[in-house]
């Protein structure tokens, strides 16, 4: 499947034990594939079992039907806590 803006892959970072990372690296080196390939395969092949174990039945049914409402996107950064302070200072410098 050719990637487009609608089906663009997302980056997910995870921390794993050193022994798991070594096994993953060995798997990638011996097969000539990237570690990300194997991680993607593990996630895609295992997410169904995780959903069945962890999601409430009503939510699982929505996932299976494709009717789960979209969640609000996460904020990329924290709000600027000091913007009001600097705005006040800028306003003071404008005064005669």
Give the pLDDT mean for 25-53: 96
Mean pLDDT of the chain: 84
Q: What angle do CA 77, 11, 7 make, to 5 degrees?
A: 105
| Residues 48-87: tens digit of each pLDDT | 999 999 999 999 999 999 998 777 766 666 666 666 666 6
List the domain boundaries for the chain.
9-69
User: How far apart are the C-alpha atoms of 64 and 44, rounded to whole Å?
Assistant: 15
């Amino acid at each position: 499947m050719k990637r487009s803006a609608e089906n663009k892959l997302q980056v997910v970072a995870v921390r794993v034990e050193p022994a798991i990372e070594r096994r993953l690296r060995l798997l990638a080196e011996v097969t000539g594939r990237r570690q990300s390939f194997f991680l993607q395969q593990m996630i895609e092949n295992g997410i169904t079992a995780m959903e069945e174990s962890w999601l409430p039945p009503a939510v699982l049914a929505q996932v299976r039907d494709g009717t789960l409402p979209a969640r609000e996107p996460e904020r990329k950064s924290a709000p600027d806590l000091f913007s009001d302070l600097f705005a006040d200072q800028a306003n003071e410098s404008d005064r005669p």
